[in-house]
Amino acid sequence: MEAIKEVPLNKILIETDSPYLAPEPKRGTRNDSSNIKYIAEKIAQIKEITTEEISKITYENAKKIFEISN
């Protein structure tokens, strides 16, 4: 959690590349992309903004990094 507090929003991506480390409340189950919402919710809580804002920001960050235009 401390890392999320320190990292600027424009440097954050959300992914599920760890199949054996599902987020709470899904701990103990196989991780997949349906769990991204829990990651976004936790980041939003830590950053004190909405989940929708986190979703939009991380989507735009991914587009920039992977050079995706719409």
What per-residue confidence (pLDDT) applies to 44?
A: 98
Task: Provide the whole-model pTM.
Answer: 0.86
At 38, list the tokens.
Answer: 């829990």
- Structure tokens belonging to residue 25: 């409340």
DSSP per residue over 1-69, as a string?
-HHHHHS-GGG-------TT-PPTTSTTS---GGGHHHHHHHHHHHHTS-HHHHHHHHHHHHHHHTT--
Q: List the pLDDT tens digit at each of the 70 positions of the chain.
A: 899 999 999 999 998 778 888 888 889 999 999 999 999 999 999 999 999 999 999 999 999 999 998 7
pLDDT at position 21 is 87
45 sits in the region (left: phi over 0; alpha: psi -120 to 50; else beta) called alpha
